[in-house]
Amino acid sequence: MYPFWEVPFFTSGLVIALIATFHILPCHLATGAFWFIVFVERKAYKENRPELLEFIKKYSLLILIFCFVIGSLSGVGIWYAATVASPRGISGLIHNYVWGWATEWVFFIIEIASIYVYYYTIGKIDPKSHLMMGWLYAWAAWISMIIITGILAFMLTSGKWVETGGFFDGFFNRTYWPQLLTRTALMFCIAGVYAAIVASTLTNRQIRRELVRAAGLWGVLGMLAGLAFAAWYLYRLPGHAKELWLDQSLPYLGHLLNIAGASYAIVLLWFVICCVIRPRLARPVTGIVILIVLFLGIGAGEGFREGIRRPYIIDQYMYGNQIVARDIPAKHIKAEIPKFNKEGFLSHLFFRPDKIDPDNKTDLLRAGSVVVHYQCGNCHALDRFGKIRPMPKLLANLAPESPEDIEGLLESLGDYPFMPPFAGNDLDKKAASEYLFSIVRR
Ligand code: HEC
């Protein structure tokens, strides 16, 4: 086990969630925008309307800065945050999908090179070559989505991989296609919002309205297709995920979906009313408000996607607290719970108290704090006034009267469909219970 990263009050998961939610905006814009740009550029050449190039210049500059400065920074941010929050989780993914990422990065480099060439050669090279550069970007960006979606979907539905350990058995899993198509449809929605904002700043009134309307139509079509694919995605969810959501084991999942649905409706209405029917209503300011609504919707939607994965961080293979859940013989991976139950959890930690006297309360509390941070701290804030699933409050609801009551809870932790079982021997359990009892909010 690596050292534990504690984020007071909010847990490390929320840090990743915030960065990742923000990252969706630039990354889906990066994949969707150039299909619209190529569409407008072809129109400009075909109908001989060089004035449309003003939009292309502004829009591609926005993509260049927003996606390739802010987007890249937040992408690196996800890697940093995920690596310290779940080093073993990331390591597990890298050991399986390093070539997936390597391939993605090849396309990523093509994207970066082609957008620079594209932007700086607008109106300077012959139209055919310039358009080719646009196509090159559009395809390279979408192919990077094809690849990363496989790894994301693997984390929820690892499929036959748990038996075979095969790259593609995990990659083309049961939620891969619906997720890829949903993201593909929604990238047009995100690109449409930004395109409408940029188009609404153009000086020529007629072109402004024409392009706002076109961006709105792309957005509407993307969102309608997205609706169908998202429904397919929900239908394809594995049984345990559907249970967490539909049986109300975790009621907040339903709330997240409602928030995502409400944001979806607002953005769709904005496209229809302010872009397609009355393009003169589209203004940069309302566009930015819509971006905020979109951000909330994405946060809720992605939060749902992450939430239904519990208790795992990688489906079937690794629990949210990074303990390996089962044998995967093809990869020479062994389940860790039996080992920890037999040999003790603390004894397998590198950073642990030097000596633990089972009859000394201070020793027990110190050791218990370590066990609980490792085993519960990824999902629960342990502070007294923590915000994310605060342990002191959740325990208080169960009104334990002694550390022994909590030992009973730990023994049955695995019965909850969203929590991993407790891993450790009697000493670990005793120490954890003492510590947990000491933090119950009274
Ligand atoms: C993979 C994430 C995860 C891990 C790890 C985890 N929990 Fe939880 N736990 C949850 C979720 C999700 C809930 C539901 C909270 C809610 O409804 O908001 C929960 C709820 C609880 C509750 C309230 C149960 C009830 O019936 O009201 C307790 C107590 C609890 N956890 C204790 C623990 C302890 C102790 C550990 C570590 C040994 C732990 N959890 C580890 C995810 C986790």
Determine contact, residues 368/426, Cβ cutoff 8 Å.
Answer: no
Closest Cα to atom 17, ligand 1: which residue?
250
Same-domain status, 415 and 266: no
Residue 328 domain-assigned?
A: no
For 385, the token pair is 């006034």
Residue 327 near residue 162 (C-beta atoms within 8 A): no
Q: What percent of the chain has pLDDT over 90?
A: 98
**C-alpha angle 181/184/189, rounded to 5°?**
125
> What integer is the mean pLDDT of 200-204?
94
Helix or strand (DSSP H, E) at 180: helix 176-199
- My answer on whether 225 and 87 are in the same domain is yes
Torsion, Cα of 2, 6, 7, 12 (10° steps) = 40
Q: Is the pLDDT of residue 18 over 90?
A: yes
User: Does 5 reside within a domain?
Assistant: no
Query: Do 114 and 89 share a structural domain?
Result: yes
pLDDT confidence tier of residue 442, bands split at 50, 70 and 90: confident
Q: Does residue 36 belong to any structural domain of this protein? A: yes
- Can you tell me the distance from the alpha carbon of 217 to that of 353, in angstroms, rounded to the nearest whole number? 62
For a ligand 1 pocket test, name from 250, 319, 419, 422 the mutation site with the most ligand atoms within 8 angstroms of its C-beta. 419
Residues 6+ apart with CB under 8 A from 186: 28, 222, 223, 226
Label residue 74 by pLDDT band (50, 70, 90).
very high
In a domain, 187, yes or no: yes
Gap from CA of 150 to ligand 1 centroid (Å): 29
Q: Whose CA is nearest to atom 32 of ligand 1?
A: 391
Residues with CB under 6 A from ligand 1: 250, 310-311, 320-321, 375-376, 378-380, 389, 394-395, 397-398, 413, 418-420, 422, 436
Tell whether 181 and 218 lie within a shared domain. yes
For residues 40, 42, 45, 50, the Cα torsion angle rounded to the nearest 10 degrees is 20
Look at the chain and report how many structural domains it folds into. Answer: 2
Give the Cα separation of 349 and 227 in Å (integer): 46
Q: How far apart are CA 406 and CA 393, in angstroms?
A: 14
In the block, residue with structure tokens 């706002």? 212
Q: Identify whether the C-beta of residue 250 lies closer than 8 Å to the C-beta of residue 244.
A: yes
Q: Classify burial at 399, counting beta carbons within 10 Å of its beta carbon; exposed 0-12, middle 13-18, buried 19 or more.
A: exposed
How far, in Å, from the CA of 339 to the mean position of ligand 1? Answer: 22
Report CA(157)–ligand 1 centroid distance (Å). 22
For residues 291 and 25, the answer to whether their CB atoms sit within 8 Å is yes
Q: Convert the pLDDT of each residue in 344-382 to its tens digit.
A: 999 999 999 988 999 999 999 999 999 999 999 999 999
CA of 377 to the centre of ligand 1 (A): 10
269 and 136 in a common domain: yes
Condensed to tens digits (0 to 9), the pLDDT of residues 118-152 reads: 999 999 999 999 999 999 999 999 999 999 999 99
Whether residue 146 is found in the same domain as residue 196: yes
Taking residues 56-83, what's their average pLDDT? 95
- How remote is the C-alpha of 139 from its chain's centroid? 23
* Average confidence (pLDDT) over 290-297: 96
Residue 253 tokens, joined: 């999942």
Q: Which of 287, 319, 351 is at the close of a domain? A: 319
Instruction: State whether 210 and 263 are in the same domain.
Output: yes
Q: 32: phi > 0 → left, psi -120 to 50 → alpha, else beta; which?
A: alpha
Residues 348 and 313 in one domain: no
380 CA distance to ligand 1 middle (Å): 7
Same domain, 133 and 257: yes
94 confidence band (pLDDT: 50, 70, 90): very high
In angstroms, the CA 228 to CA 249 distance is 26
Distance 323 CA to ligand 1 centre (A): 15
pLDDT at position 315 over 90 = yes
> Which structure tokens are listed for 87?
């080093």
Please provide the DSSP assignment of 297-358 as one string.
Answer: HHHHHHHHHHHTTTTEEETTTEETTS-B-S-BGGGTB--SHHHHHHH-SGGG-SS--S---T
Query: How many A from CA of 2 to the centre of ligand 1?
Result: 22
309 and 401 in a single domain? The answer is: no
Q: What is the whole-number distance in angstroms between the Cα of residue 379 and the centre of ligand 1?
A: 7
Regarding whether 201 and 69 lie in a shared domain, the answer is: yes
Q: Do 113 and 136 touch, CB atoms closer than 8 A?
A: no
What residue's CA is closest to ligand 1, atom 33?
A: 376
Q: Whose CA is nearest to atom 8 of ligand 1?
A: 419
pLDDT, tens digit (0-9, with 9 covering 90-100), for 259-279: 999 999 999 999 999 999 999
Residue 282 belongs to domain spanning:
11-319
Which alpha helices (H) appear in 66-122, and where do they start and end? 72-85, 87-120
Residue 226: CB partners within 8 Å, gap ≥ 6?
182, 185, 186, 189
Evaluate whether 219 touches 193 at the Cβ level (below 8 Å).
yes
Same domain, 341 and 368: yes
Within a domain: residue 260? Answer: yes
Pocket test for ligand 1, best of 1, 340, 378, 380 (most atoms within 8 A of CB): 380
Q: Does the residue 275 lie in any domain?
A: yes
Q: Is the pLDDT of residue 413 over 90?
A: yes
Question: Given a cut of 90, is residue 14 above it in pLDDT?
Answer: yes
Instruction: Please tell me the predicted confidence (pLDDT) of residue 248.
Output: 84
User: pLDDT averaged over the chain?
Assistant: 96
Q: Is residue 54 part of a domain?
A: yes
**DSSP 8-state symbol, 125:** S
> Is-cis flag, bond preceding 311, omega within 30?
yes
12: pLDDT strictly greater than 90: yes
Confidence tier at 158 by pLDDT (50, 70, 90): very high
How crowded is residue 188: how many other Cβ atoms within 10 Å of its Cβ? Answer: 26
